[in-house]
Structure formats: C-alpha cells, structure tokens
Chain A
Amino acid sequence: RKEVEQDPGPFNVPEGATVAFNCTYSNSASQSFFWYRQDCRKEPKLLMSVYSSGNEDGRFTAQLNRASQYISLLIRDSKLSDSATYLCVVLVSGGYNKLIFGAGTRLAVHP
C-alpha cells in the first residue's frame, strides 16, 4: 500500500464550480501535512499547509482528520488558472524533513 494515496482524476469542472480532493496516508505517526500544486511540465510549489483545526486561504480550504488519516482540499469558485495537479504531501516523523508525496490529482477547469 502506498504511503500517501490520492484519486488521480482527472476532475473536469466548469469555471465557478466547487471541487474537493481527498487523500489518505498510512503512517499514523505522520506529523505535518501539505498540499503542493504542480503545473504541467513545471516544478511542484507549496500551496498550503494543513492544520488540525482546518485552515483557509482565499478560495482554498484544507482539512485534516487524524483519526481517519484523511486530508482534504476544497477549491471554491474554480478559475481556469486552477488547472493543475494537486499533490498531497506528508512529513515523515522523526525530526527529518522527509516529504512523502502522493501521485497527485489532476484538475482541469473549463470555460
């Protein structure tokens, strides 16, 4: 079983739609969680961290459920520019900055 699992998609949504991505992780000792965004043929970039209480950054909302080992990302009012692959990322515990990436969920927003 992969350490971080995501639905690969693609999610094809119209502009203005709300879309949600889910991610599960297998290591219960994982301590920190993130969403990275990767545009086609580009490098991954940090989108947002995920906090236990849930957090919001503009149109983006991230949630963490430690009991279920489940992370989510909600995008409201989708824009064409949101089209990208969204990578769920988990920090391995032990004091080292070893990030484990999921395979990514592809989002395509159309007019």
Chain B
Amino acid sequence: GAGVSQSPRYKVTKRGQDVALRCDPISGHVSLYWYRQALGQGPEFLTYFNYEAQQDKSGLPNDRFSAERPEGSISTLTIQRTEQRDSAMYRCASSRTTTSYEQYFGPGTRLTVT
C-alpha cells in the first residue's frame, strides 16, 4: 500500500514568509509525528498527534511553529515568518496504533529559507 507522503518535496521561500508543509500518513495510522532533520544529524522530535489530538508539542522550537491534524488524518506543519535557521529537512512519520513503536517515515520536505 501507499506509504507516508509529504508535500511539497522541496520548498524555497524568502525570509519572513509563512510556509505550510503537508503530511498524509499511511491510511488507518492513528499516530502522526513531525521531526526536523539537519544534515548529518538524526531526526529531532517536534510534535505528535494521536488521532486529531496534539499530545506533545515540547519539541516545537518557538511559537512561530504550529501543527494541526483536524480530522485525524492529514496534518499540516506551519512555520510563520520563516528565518534562515529554519532551513532543514522536515519529516513526518506515522504509526499504526498509539502504542506502536515502529514509525514509518515519509520522504520529507526540504525547506530552504533564503
């Protein structure tokens, strides 16, 4: 079946613009996670959802970052007033249940802020 999909795959934006990154999890997966991955580093946890409820947003760097999953399926990560330091690969993952340890990652969105 289809895996986790993310769009856009690449996004170049100017400093100060808002961006919205989309994640479409594997069908039926109830938990969804957002990570940020810098070059040469492992993924860094940002936030996660069980169904439509945001369970933990402790990893969001500041209040310019927000995420939602209004219907418990597709999720959007929004970054307002982007800064150059926001440039990174943003990865989404999903898991089948709220207690599944295996997370399936999407291909990521490469964000470049100029």
Q: Closest CB of chain B to A97's CB: distance in Å? A: 6
Known: A44-B43, A46-B102, A98-B56; 14 extra A-B contacts, CB below 8 A, are A8-B40, A42-B107, A43-B105, A43-B106, A44-B42, A44-B105, A97-B98, A97-B101, A97-B103, A99-B43, A100-B45, A101-B35, A101-B42, A101-B44
Residues B42 and A97 in contact, CB atoms below 8 Å apart: no
Bound Cα distance from A100 to B103, whole angstroms: 12
Residues A43 and B107 in contact, CB atoms below 8 Å apart: yes
Task: Please list the residues of chain B having a beta carbon within 8 angstroms of any beta carbon in chain A.
Answer: 31, 33, 35, 40-45, 48, 55-56, 91, 95, 98-108
Q: How many residues of A contact B (CB 8 A)?
A: 22
**A103 interface hit (Cβ, 8 Å):** yes
Task: Please list the residues of chain A having a beta carbon within 8 angstroms of any beta carbon in chain B.
Answer: 4, 8, 32, 34, 42-46, 49, 87, 89, 91, 96-104
> In the complex, which residues of chain B have a beta carbon less than 8 angstroms from the beta carbon of A99?
33, 43, 45, 103
CB < 8 Å: which of A32, A46, A49, A101 contacts B43? A101
> In the complex, which residues of chain B have a beta carbon less than 8 angstroms from the beta carbon of A87?
42-43
> In the complex, which residues of chain B have a beta carbon less than 8 angstroms from the beta carbon of A101?
35, 42-44
Bound Cα distance from A43 to B40, whole angstroms: 13
CB < 8 Å: which of B31, B41, B104 contacts A103? B41
